[in-house]
Amino acid sequence: MIVRKIVTVVEEILTEGGRAVSPAARVAIVAAVIENPWAGQGFVEDLSSGIEDNASPLGELLAPKVIEALGAEAQAYGKAAIVGLNGEIEHGSGLIHTLKFGDHFRKAANATTLLPAVEKRGPAGIVFDIPLKHITDATIRSHHQTVEVRIADAPHPDEIVIALAAAAQGRPQQRLAPLTTEQ
């Protein structure tokens, strides 16, 4: 795995809807910009060796960093794979849609649910949204949220951005009724 850089972003929302948010709503994102392990190979029928070599090390690298950046226990989380223009969306999906990757984050966050994800292909500087869900119950509406990310110089055409995001709470000022009220 060749990592060009790691980007960490921490967002704190102090007011929402004209009212103070206390404590501040924190979201952390940690992204690794890596060389696409399948770059320059044309169509690769079997992605398993690249997944085996890279997915677990990526999860092991990013999971503790996002929890550390958050500075609190994670209550919501998500993941992303943004593939450069010379790659396939399947390349990013292969790296993040495996327990070899996701279990590192689940363990670090004391989570049990599947990680919501975004995968897309695009040029350097593309904006992408990482969806977040509650770490133990994906039906908890207050924790359904997204965080917008942009890395100005990534991904290069033969790179992939792999990112994890965690929130220390649900949406600021959330006030939707629980899903159970509609069942």
Judge whether 81 and 119 are in contact, CB under 8 Å. yes
Residues near 20 by beta carbon (within 8 Å), at least 6 away in sequence = 14
Q: Cβ of 114: how many Cβ atoms within 10 Å? A: 13
Average of per-residue pLDDT across 18-22: 95
Note the pLDDT tens digit of each residue in 49-74. 999 999 999 999 999 999 999 999 99
- Residue 100, phi-psi category: left (phi > 0), alpha (psi -120 to 50), beta (remainder): alpha
Confidence category of residue 174, pLDDT binned at 50, 70, 90? confident
pLDDT score of 178 more than 90: no
- For all residues of the chain together, what is the average pLDDT? 95
**Residue 129: enclosing H or E segment and its boundaries?**
strand 127-134
Q: What is the pLDDT of residues 31-45, one digit of tens each?
A: 999 999 999 999 999
* Domains of the chain with bracketed CATH: 3-182 (3.30.1330.110)
